[in-house]
Each structure stands twice: as C-alpha cells, then as structure tokens.
C-alpha cells in the first residue's frame, strides 16, 4: 500500500510547499514518486531533486540502527519538467557494520535525468576538528533577499518571493538583476529558512534541506568573477554535478554562513568549493561544477 515519507507538518508558506516535495510516495520495490516546485524556466530545480534523493536513500537504510547520511555525489544528466512527476529508484549497494551505500536514479519518461551515490554511517567516536568560521558582517546588517524579491513587480519576483523558503543575505550585494560591483571569485552568504523548521525535523531532513538551499547560489563566485548575473539575457547556467559532505548537525532555522571560492572557470564550465558554518562550527563542505556561459559570446582559452 502506498504511503508517504514522514516529515513534520507546517502551515507556514513557502516552507510548507518545499517540505511537501520531500514527502515522496512509496510505490514498492524501492521505487518512489515525487512532484516538483514551480519554476519560471519550467525546468526542475536541481536542489529539489538532490534533497528528494537524500530522503529516499535514507528510507531504505537498515531499520535496526540510526545511520545518517554523511555524503552525496550527484550528477545532473538531463533537464526535468515540472509538469510531470519524478520517479526515483534506489539500489542497495552495501550495508556494512558502520556504513551503508545507496545509488539513486531519478527518471522522467523512462529516461534517467539524475543519478547519485549516497553514503550513511552510524555515529562513532573519533578525532574532530574543522575550519574556522570566517569573519563576516552580521546578517541583520545586510539586505534580505525576501525583501528584494517582494519589491520586484515582475513574474520572476512574484514566483521567487512566494516559493523560495530561504532568506539570503549576500556580503557584497546581490547579483540577481545586475553584475557584482567587484569582480571576485570569492563570496560570503548568510542564509536560513524564512520560517522555523517544524518541531520534530530530523537530522536527515535538515541535511536534505541544506542541499536544497545551496544549489541556489553555489555558482555565484563564477558569475561574480565573470560579470554574469542571474537575469542576464544571454546567460545560460545549469548544474552538472554536486557533492556534499555533512560534517556536523545544524538547524536551518538559524543563520548559516557559506564561504564560497571558485578555483577555475573554462570551456563554459565553472567550479565552486564551499564551506558552511553555524555557531562557529564547520558543518558541511560542498563542491559544484556547472555550465556557466553567455549565448552568442565566444571566450577563447589561452
């Protein structure tokens, strides 16, 4: 009998709709069905699929212990359509004494559009250290993305302000509608959920939501360094692959600082490495490579 993954309820939008996409339907045989959030592009938002894959992989973990996802390595193979359901298939690769590994494919029209390998581990003792949180202006002193989009009298502004569950505060200003004031491949962003995560939110749900959130800005250091901005009429951008290593537990209801650096951009692709901090603790590390290019503009690699 079909049922849904257990996720706490909230009646506060837009967080309620985002969490709704993570309540995937069990179809049996380690198969799941999911829906998508609205997007201006009519294409599925990659962070949504990343979060959904994290949830369904965990749903197949051994029920007799408390294993928690600690890493995911994903590849985005084809664009997905928001007007069609997504189907997920989970393959159990390994269940060891301490670690479990799963492969997750997301399909539309019988084509794999996304694939990921997720690893989970029992909590175990061991050495512990992390990077130091960088200095940054307090988030309360920076402009809110919620206010920015709410003030836009455009279809894009309306969709983002009513569906985006994040409040983002960019050190150095936004690049939504204009290029960065300073050309740099380094960037700091504060972010958290616009409303508090519902009571009873699991560590797994928090980790899935971090993946959902970060896909919105991982390529920004590449864009800032090259003068590209999100609304650029010639810009063409898409995530190619995304890896996450979750180090420590956190709460998306509180401010998280992302420190992002792009070490290279070439051949229409750019790479970003990011470290995430909360309360001075290094909570996660990510890498993402994406397509970042301008249509009808030629860049020559020397």
Range 113-135 average pLDDT: 95
DSSP H helices, the chain, are 15-21, 46-59, 145-150, 155-163, 203-214, 220-226
Cα–Cα distance for residue pair 129/282, rounded to 1 Å: 8
The predicted structure's pLDDT at residue 158: 81
CA dist 291 and 293 (Å) reads: 6
Instruction: Give the C-alpha separation, 140 to 171, whole Å.
Output: 11
Average pLDDT, the chain: 94
Instruction: Please report, for residues 27, 91, 204, the alpha-carbon distance to residue 94 in angstroms, rounded to integers and kept in the order given.
Output: 22, 9, 19
**Measured between alpha carbons, how far is 119 from 99 in angstroms, rounded to an integer?**
7
Total residue length of the chain: 302
Q: What angle do CA 264, 266, 269 make, to 5 degrees?
A: 90
- DSSP structural state of residue 195: S
pTM of the shown model: 0.94
Task: Single out the residue of 23, 30, 19 nearest to residue 212, CA to CA.
Answer: 19
Confirm if 209 and 225 have CB atoms less than 8 A apart: no
* Dist. CA 223–CA 220, nearest whole Å: 5
Stretch among 53-57, 157-161, 238-242 having the lowest mean pLDDT: 157-161
φ and ψ at residue 286, rounded to 5 degrees: -135, 155
What is the reported pLDDT for 32? 98
Q: From the CB of residue 203, how many other CB atoms can be counted at a distance below 10 Å? A: 15
- For residue 231, the Cα-to-chain-centroid distance in whole angstroms is 20
Residue 97's contacts (CB-CB under 8 Å, 6 or more residues apart) are none
Give first-to-last CA distance, the chain, whole Å: 59
From 205, 221, 213, select the one nearest 274 (Cα to Cα).
221
Ranking 27-41, 151-165, 262-276 by mean pLDDT, the lowest is 151-165
pLDDT for res 297: 61
Lowest mean pLDDT among 124-138, 147-161, 254-268: 147-161
Q: What is the residue extent of each domain of the chain? A: 3-122+141-294
The CATH number of the domain covering residues in 3-122+141-294: 2.40.160.210
Indicate whether 226 pLDDT > 90.
Answer: yes
| pLDDT above 70: percentage of residues in the chain | 96
pLDDT one-digit tens code per residue, 292-301: 988 876 555 5
Residue 302 pLDDT > 80, yes or no? no
């Amino acid at each position: 009998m079909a049922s849904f993954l257990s996720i706490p309820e909230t009646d506060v939008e837009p967080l309620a709709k985002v969490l709704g996409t993570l309540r995937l339907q069990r179809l049996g045989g380690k198969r799941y069905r999911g829906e998508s959030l609205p997007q201006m592009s009519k294409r599925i938002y990659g962070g949504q699929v990343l979060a959904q894959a994290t949830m369904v992989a965990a749903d197949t973990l051994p029920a007799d212990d408390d294993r928690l996802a600690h890493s995911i390595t994903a590849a985005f193979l084809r664009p997905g359509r928001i007007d069609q359901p997504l189907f997920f298939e989970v393959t159990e690769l390994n269940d060891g004494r301490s670690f479990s590994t799963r492969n997750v494919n997301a399909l539309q029209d019988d084509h794999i559009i996304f694939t990921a390998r997720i690893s989970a581990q029992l909590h175990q003792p061991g050495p512990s250290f992390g990077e130091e949180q960088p200095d940054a202006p307090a988030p309360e002193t920076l402009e809110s993305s919620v206010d920015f989009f709410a003030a836009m009298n455009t279809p894009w502004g309306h969709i983002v302000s009513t569906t985006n569950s994040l409040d983002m505060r960019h050190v150095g200003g936004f690049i939504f509608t204009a290029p960065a004031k300073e050309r740099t491949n380094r960037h700091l962003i504060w972010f958290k959920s616009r409303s508090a995560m519902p009571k009873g939110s699991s560590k797994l749900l928090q980790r899935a939501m971090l993946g959902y959130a970060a896909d919105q800005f991982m390529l920004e250091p590449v864009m800032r360094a090259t003068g590209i901005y999100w609304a650029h009429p010639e810009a063409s951008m898409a995530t190619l692959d995304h890896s996450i290593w979750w180090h420590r537990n956190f709460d998306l209801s509180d401010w998280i600082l992302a420190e992002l650096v792009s070490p290279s951009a070439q051949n229409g692709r750019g790479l970003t490495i990011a470290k995430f901090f909360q309360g001075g603790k290094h909570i996660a590390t990510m890498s993402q490579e994406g397509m970042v290019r301008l249509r009808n503009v030629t860049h020559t690699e020397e």
